[in-house]
Structure 1
Amino acid sequence: MSTEVRSGVTPRRPPPMSPMGGLRYGIVVAVVLIGLGLLAGRIVTLHVFDRPFLQGQGDARTLRTDPLPSHRGMITDRNGEPLAISTPVVTLWANPQDVPEDSIQRLMLARALGMPLDDLTARLERYASREFMYLRRQLTPAAAQQVLDLRVPGVYAQNEYKRYYPAGEVTAQLLGVTNVDDKGQEGLELAYQPYLAGTPGQRRVLKDRRGRLVRDLEVLREAKPGGQLTLSIDQRLQYMAYRELKTAVAEHDADGGVVVMLDARTGEVLAMANQPSYNPNNRAGLDPRGLRNQAIVDVFEPGSVMKPLAMAAIMESGQFDRDTVVDTSPGWMRIDRFTIRDIRNYGELSLAGILEKSSNIGMSKLVLALDDPLVPDIYRRLGFGESPGTGFPGESTGSMPAPVRWSSSQWAALSYGYGLSASALQLASAYTALANSGERLPPSLLRLPEPPAGVPAITPDVAHDLLRIMEEAVQPDTGARRAVVPGYRVAGKTGTVRKTAAQGYQENVYRSLFAGIAPVSDPRIVTVVMIDHPKGDAFYGGAVAAPVFSRVAGNALRLLDVPPDQRLQ
């Protein structure tokens, strides 16, 4: 007997499943399985196939490559004293779209930036469609931090460098300046831009969605600083020369002036001062005339300071010697419808007397008696009419006319420094031949590892004779007496040149010059002084430029520890 019969209970049978119910169940299971399959497929696609793309998109929104600024190379004087250095600064910028419109925050930001609220608001509106605008360039780190401490959204900082010139106006024209992006614009800063600039680096950083730095990740490329430039300038001599030049320009109410001092043994420029000048650290309201390095860029007719150089050609000709006597009476002469004059009738003069009295008549007669055009030839050997080769931007070659169908008056004018033009640097370089046994030394603005080879220009015997003749012209009883340096033997020549204008030579407008060498026994420095248009009672080179030479050369010789030499009796 079965259990069902024994228990007396009849079991219930499940109702038969309808066809529609089974179908719905199958559809649900299928949908679930398909959904799980699609989800699994999408997960596989994202993690396997699309992973590089998605990773790159994520990194693009969080990882950044920021530049590492490189500081500009330092410029120093010959003794390592800094003349131009780069200091760290901070530039503040903003994303105008992220800066809140809250008036309180904008007012606080404007005050911290030191600008009117209306100006800040106008700038934000002007750049509203962009994501970048400068707020302030080149702030000190402390001033920038005051702005950043406000935590205004959309305001960020960028580290940069700014050029600073410790000597200020004293070396302004020589060094030049950089612009706000620290790129050279003038002077040596421009000439050596690739060398001084350096190479910026790169770093990878993590930033949030607002562009704020979260973490430094790695340095991709180290920043390389610019090279250091060592000049031939001696900062002590530069300060002293600038001080004396500025004093003389003010004393004589002059338009400006130049002092150039070269090392007589190497041709290195020990000092190069210009007036007027400007402060490169604060260029507001600067005089545009002060931007030019007149010693290299500007040219002028040198006048009587050329007479010793022309005399070298006369003495080398073999037609005249030191004892030759020239009659300069009556103190004037007519050549080609032009009248050449001396200050007064000097009568008979030796070659030394012609230089001492600065006789235009004596020089003219000697040059016109020469068989060959020796004066232009020696001028060219001395570097006139060609580039000095310093590499300074805009350096002038001057002008040295070709001797083609010259008239007698042109030949005569050339002997006393008219009819050609030269810069103060070219003139100083030419005088190194007199100080260096006839070999001219090319000028250099950089410190040289060793003395360069000289360029033969004057025979040694003639150079030595001229040095002694020029020494006799700088004595207490001569017109150049104000150039005397106590304790040292000095050789030199004065010059007073009429300035030209479009209509010709100007009346009562002069340049006063002195070119000198010291000490004569063992020349160490060659110095040229030019004072442009002195307006006081004095305008002759012996009265205006010679005293500047005396003070500059005397101080320089003492600073260089040059022992005094015995003066002529």
Structure 2
Amino acid sequence: MKLDGALYPWRFRLVLILLALMVAAIAWRIVDLHVFDHDFLKGQGDARSMRHIPIPAHRGLITDRNGEPLAVSTPVTTLWGNPKELIGARDQWAALAKALGQDAKALTERLEQLAGREFTYLARGLTPEQGQTVLDLKIPGVYALEEFRRFYPAGEVTAHVLGFTDIDDRGREGMELAFDEWLAGVPGKRQVLKDRRGRLIRDVQVVQNAKAGKTLELSIDLRLQYLAHRELRNAITEVGAKAGTLVMLDVKTGEVLAMVNQPTYNPNNKRNLNPAAMRNRALVDVFEPGSTMKPLSMSAALETGRWKPEDRVEVAPGRLQIGRYTIRDVSRAEGGVLDLTGILIKSSNVGMSKVAFDIGGASIYSLMQRVGFGQDTGLGFPGERVGNLPNHREWRKAETATLSYGYGLSVTAVQLAHAYATLANDGRSVPLALVRQEQQPEGVQVISPSVAKSIQGMLQQVVEAPGGAFRAKVPGYHVAGKSGTARKTSVGAKGYKEKSYRSLFAGFAPTSNPRIAMAVVIDEPSNGTYFGGLISAPVFGRVMAGALRLMNVAPDNLPPPVETKTADKEALGQGERI
């Protein structure tokens, strides 16, 4: 009897041939991969072991106008773990938690939940020494990354201007956010070999070098910032105020020399941070500016040519009825008559209203718009508000009067300081800047130079005349300015809050050649006094005095030198011989 295979010998041969072909193909493929196409195997091997590790790039330096560092990047260590590997080292978790300063139970629960993953952060932002302490434990599955963390040497003094970065070193507030692309560096790449457990075998090469961020030089003068911060903080404590703001500008260049707010915060330690303290009130908070608007309304009156500084207005009996609305003066004028300078010195709402009725609300609106109210300042600061400058098709008496003495509109402290800088700069408005300017900007003439000069002299009298805001005086210098007291509106209801005020003072110095303009706003003083001339003017005077000396501005109000008689040379000689 024959086998079944013997009946069909060609089948057996066919199988042998197929097997032979398969062996030959495999052999050829082996030869091909090892001799002719060895790059394929190399590429596949590299794909499983070659890795690109990012090289962190440190963020650009932020300095003040004199090169003092305001924000620097310091190297820190970030520890990460591979839970799949850490599962095999349970007996070392307690030691790991202790080294990390974490709760052992919480760390255990987290690693157990992530047991199926290959990556989790263990701790970020450690000092290199702290990171090395953990690495020295040599726990399988614990690895380190080099990163950078932002540090702010001035702390709370510059917090509202600079803002801060998040844990990934990206800008989140202030200038850090506004100039994030400028400051952020470009990470590099390093090629390394790792085994299948992710352990580093060999550092191959640097593929791309890290590129550091660019330096940002601000217009802020750190000396003036410290001075303003100290005086504002002391004033807020002394009068029991809710908050406060101070803005200082360079009259000629429009640079912001100092910008401080209270309350503030420490950007180096954001634990238990109060969101209200993070607000840059100088640019975000809007308010009715009160009597600080009267010099601008007076400028509009002088521009029309209908009024001159010596013109007089009847203000008796200190109140003015407009329908159901009554305008009142706080200070009574002797004789019931005031000239235009007297209206500013006495801060007469009645006198200012009568002038405004004559020139019309549209004239006042036009000038206030030209100096920048109701418009963006151009600083590019995140969250900046433009305020509100109302315009009416028909200006009624009540609307005209309230606008003339600073109600019915809203401004920021920066806008208020900018308006006074424009008056100080002979009516020329220059763009504001938070970055140091290499050249003086051109500016735009928005108020007649002759009108601006007249207002400068009138505002000097407001400070220096008897009964004026004498608390704003600076020894050795002529100072010009105007106080204001504004009632606060009620949130969620119509009208104003009872016994709730903002105290304001805005001005510039020295009057002979103005260099610095400043606005001070103190919110809700609670010591029983709230007038701007009593609360904000002293802060203005102290800060302005320090700023003028720090900037080496020559005094313009020194007493004349006292002539002393020189002794006769012969008599002096005889006296010496005696």
Report the TM-score when normalising by structure 2: 0.90
Corresponding residue number in structure 2 for 1:301: 288
Aligned-residue sequence identity (percent) comes to 54
Give the match for residue 506 of structure 1: 497
Is 1:168 aligned with 2:159? no
Aligned positions of 1:474-513 closer than 5 A = 474-475=463-464, 477-501=466-490, 502-513=493-504
Alignment match, 2:446:
457
Which of 198, 213, 235 is residue 211 of structure 1 equivalent to?
198
| Alignment match, 1:424 | 413
1:531 partnered with 2:518: no
| Cross-structure match for 1:556 | 547
| 1:276 match | 263
8 A contact 2:357–2:397 mirrored in 1: yes
Shift of 1:126: 1.2
Q: Larger Rg: 1 or 2?
A: 1
Partner of 2:225: 238
1:366 aligns with 2:355: yes
Residue 62 of structure 1 pairs with residue 53 of structure 2: no
Alignment of 1:1-400 (within 5 A): 41=28, 43-48=30-35, 51-346=38-333, 347-370=336-359, 373-400=362-389
State the shift of 1:103 in Å: 4.2
* One-letter amino acid of the structure 2 residue matched with residue 79 of structure 1: N
Query: Matched residues in 2 for 1:188 and 1:289: separation?
Result: 18
Distance 1:372 1:396, change over 3 A: closer
**Unpaired runs of at least 5, structure 2:** 1-16, 561-578
Residue range with higher mean Cα deviation, 52-61 or 306-315: 52-61
CA deviations over 1:313-361 (Å, ceiling 9, x no partner): 0011111111100010000011132000001431100000000000000
Please state whether the residue corresponding to 2:249 is helix, strand or coil: strand
Partner of 2:14: none
Give yes or no for contact 1:296–1:424 (8 Å, CA) kept in 2. yes
Verify the 8 A CA contact 1:376 1:403 in the aligned structure 2: no
* Contact 1:336/1:408 (8 A) holds in 2: no
Pairwise CA distance, 1:39? 8.1
For residue 87 of structure 1, give the secondary structure of its aligned residue in structure 2: strand
Maintained 8 Å contact 2:331/2:347: no
- For residues 57-82 of structure 1, the C-alpha deviation after alignment (integer angstroms, 9 at most, x for no partner) is 21122211111111111111001111
The number of residue pairs the alignment matches comes to 539
C-alpha distance in structure 1 between counterparts of 2:47 and 2:243, whole Å:
59
Residues 304, 358 of structure 1: 8 Å contact kept: yes
3-state SS of paired residue (2:269): coil
Q: Which digits, 9 at most, give the CA deviation of each residue in 1:435-469, with x for residues without a partner?
A: 11111122111101111112211111111111111
Give distance in 2, aligned partners of 1:268 and 1:108: 54
Q: Is the 8 A contact 2:485 2:502 kept in 1?
A: yes
Decide whether the 8 Å contact of 1:241 with 1:273 is kept in 2: yes
CA distance in 2, matches of 1:34, 1:440: 90
Alignment map for 1:427-442 (pairs within 5 Å): 427-442=416-431
Contact 2:194–2:201 (Cα < 8 Å) also in 1: yes
Say if 1:286 and 1:40 are closer, same or farther in 2 by CA, change over 3 A: closer
Aligned 8 A contact 2:388 2:411 in 1: yes
| Cα distance change, pair 567–173 in 1 and its aligned pair in 2 (3 A) | same
CA gap 1:87/1:424 in 2 versus in 1, 3 angstroms: same
Aligned-partner residue type, residue 218 of structure 1: Q
Q: Using a 3 Å threshold, how does the CA distance of structure 1 residues 434 and 37 change in structure 2: closer, same or farther?
A: closer
Matches of 2:550 and 2:463 in 1, distance apart? 22
Cα distance in 2 between the residues matched to 1:559 and 1:95: 56
Amino acid aligned to 2:413: A
Secondary structure in 1 matching 2:158:
helix
How far apart, in 1, do the equivalents of 2:540 and 2:236 lie?
13
Indicate conservation of the 8 Å contact 2:502/2:521, yes or no: yes
Question: CA–CA distance in 2 between the matches of 1:130 and 1:396?
Answer: 46
**2: CA distance, partners of 1:371 / 1:44:** 98
* Distance across 1 between alignment mates of 2:324 and 2:501: 24
Instruction: In structure 1, list runs of 5 or more residues that go unmatched.
Output: 1-29
> Equivalents in 1 of 2:465, 2:352: separation in Å?
24
Asked whether the 8 Å contact 1:510–1:532 carries over to 2, the reply is: yes
Q: 2:403 aligns with which of 414, 425, 446?
A: 414
Q: Relative to 1, partners in 2 of residues 1:373 and 1:40: Cα closer, same or farther, differing over 3 Å?
A: closer
Check conservation: 2:374, 2:388, Cα contact below 8 A.
Answer: yes
Distance (Å, rounded) in 2 between the aligned partners of 1:412 and 1:169:
41
In structure 2, relative to structure 1, the CA distance for the partners of 1:248 and 1:41 (3 Å cut) is same
**Are residues 372 and 281 of structure 1, via their aligned partners in 2, closer, same or farther at CA, if it must alter by over 3 Å?**
closer
